[in-house]
Amino acid sequence: MFEEEYKRNFVFGCDYGTSDFKYGPITVGDKPLLVENRGYFPERSIVSQVLGVEKEVVVGRDVTLFLGSEAELATRLVYPMRSGAISKGDERAWKVIKELTRMALSEFKPGGLGFKGFYIVAALSATAPRYMYERLFTIYSELASDEGLIHSATIIPQPLAVAIAHKQTSCVVVESGHGNTQVAPISRAPIRGAVVALNRGGGAANAITAEILKDAGYGDLAKEESLVRKVKESIGLLPLDLERAINYARNNPEDVKAVYKVPGTRITIDLGNNSWTRFLIGEYVFDPNHEVFESYFRRGMPRPSDVKVGDVVFYGMLDMASTIIESVEKCPVELQPHLYNQVILSGGNFSWRTPAHLRGIAVESETKLTQMLKAKGVENVTVILSPEPQYAVWRGCIVFGYAVPAGYSWTWERMEGWMHYRR
């Protein structure tokens, strides 16, 4: 009984996204803390020793203070995950993950003698291979023995965390982050054989935003990934129908004018006559097959390609609705109506603005996807957007950690339970 009470006080969620790392204990509130999932390996020098900077890798908010020339960034700044996965032998990437985890847990480590470590619930991509689970448990074991930060740990797929957060046992979770989009049917647990993945996410929207900035005369700014992301989030729109949106924009240029003032600088980005292109940013994630994108491909923008990560193929050009249909149709026919009845959208890539004066031209993700599915013959479909979709996975981690009994030990056969490090 004491162990259950202890666990309830020290559940800690970690969502390892391709772009962002979200973390925090059950006591942090409705939102986790968030830092970029990256690490910087500073050059070892006398100056760094004098300044007291002797870490092999810097993570979290301090990374910004170390950023130097573009040439240095290419070799020293490491984003550990690609399409939600880390290569088995990529030691620098694993060091970043370990330091991010250490930073997160240390930030909330309480004082006093009663602390025996957190119950950590980690979320990984539904396509993450088994060796990622094994390596992450090894990292947790090291943090438990070296610093006493972890009592027990478990790992769950991100789509399952979303389903848990929504208290749904039969649904389809579409989790779209920076690097990829995972479509996972859930029937009490993810139906792994029916998971379908896209090699498109927020990074794809960033890529088309960078091309739009180049065409508008901001080629130098298009090289700065963090700035491009902010521009995307500020001016990007998701059209209900792309042709109609483009025609409206060209006939009503003042209504769609896109201007972005970079905070803390004198820089203002004004797309001017190219403001109609802001509709391309959202459309590209949902369906990159429109002929308007062909001009970008011909001018050198890489076409989204099919890539294989482990045993999973991430499709490049498949549209979002077709991806969901392919996933659902891998499931028993009897189950399919229940899955279509609850399609849950999660992840920051589904957070699109809808200005009031453009309502009906620009739409939210759930409206767009409902129309796309109905156009392909799926009539009885319900699509919902998770409240604050960027944090749904983390919230599911907290609920899961709270619910799983402290004595339920990890089993590799079922891939569930607690890996205990302290008793």
With a cut of 80, say whether residue 317 has pLDDT above it.
Answer: yes
What is the reported pLDDT for 74?
A: 59
What is the reported pLDDT for 84?
A: 79
What is the reported pLDDT for 224?
A: 86
Phi and psi for 260 in degrees, rounded to 5?
A: -135, 120
What is the amino acid identity at position 26? I
- The residue count of the chain comes to 423
What is the reported pLDDT for 356?
A: 92
pLDDT mean over 36-47: 76
What is the reported pLDDT for 133?
A: 96
- Please indicate whether the domains covering 2-38+79-161+391-420 and 196-385 agree at the CATH topology level: yes
Q: How confident is the model at residue 286 (pLDDT cuts 50, 70, 90)?
A: very high
What is the reported pLDDT for 261?
A: 93
Q: How confident is the model at residue 54 (pLDDT cuts 50, 70, 90)?
A: low
Query: Under 8 Å CB-to-CB from 413, ≥6 apart: which residues?
Result: none
pLDDT mean over 66-76: 61
What is the reported pLDDT for 257?
A: 94
What is the reported pLDDT for 45?
A: 58
Contact 117, 144 (CB under 8 A): yes
Provide DSSP, 231-271: HHHHH-B-BSSHHHHHHHHHH-TTTT--EEEPTTSS-EEE-
- Give the three-state DSSP class for 157: strand
Q: What is the pLDDT of residues 152-178, one digit of tens each?
A: 999 999 999 999 999 998 999 999 988
With a cut of 70, say whether residue 204 has pLDDT above it.
Answer: yes
Cα torsion 295, 301, 306, 311 to 10°: value is -160
Mean pLDDT over the full length of the chain: 90
Query: What are the boundaries of each domain within the chain?
Result: 2-38+79-161+391-420, 196-385
Chain Cα centroid distance, residue 285:
14
pLDDT mean over 61-69: 69
What is the reported pLDDT for 208?
A: 96
Q: What is the pLDDT of residues 244-275, one digit of tens each?
A: 999 999 999 999 999 999 888 899 999 999 99
Phi and psi for 392 in degrees, rounded to 5?
A: -65, -40
Q: Which two tokens stand for residue 92?
A: 């620098």
196-385: CATH number:
3.30.420.570
Percent of the chain with pLDDT over 70: 94
With a cut of 80, say whether residue 311 has pLDDT above it.
Answer: no
Percent of the chain with pLDDT over 90: 69
What is the reported pLDDT for 48?
A: 53
CATH number assigned to the domain with residue range 2-38+79-161+391-420, chosen from the 4 options 1.10.3720.10, 2.40.30.10, 3.30.420.40, 3.30.200.20: 3.30.420.40
The phi-psi region of residue 188 (left if phi > 0; otherwise alpha if psi is between -120 and 50; otherwise beta) is: left
Our CA angle for 86, 87, 88, nearest 5°, is 110
pLDDT mean over 19-37: 91
What is the amino acid identity at position 108? F
What is the reported pLDDT for 331?
A: 96
What is the reported pLDDT for 164?
A: 92
With a cut of 80, say whether residue 103 has pLDDT above it.
Answer: yes
With a cut of 90, say whether residue 146 has pLDDT above it.
Answer: no
What is the reported pLDDT for 307?
A: 87
Q: What is the pLDDT of residues 359-409, one digit of tens each?
A: 999 999 999 999 999 999 998 999 999 988 889 999 999 999 999 999 999
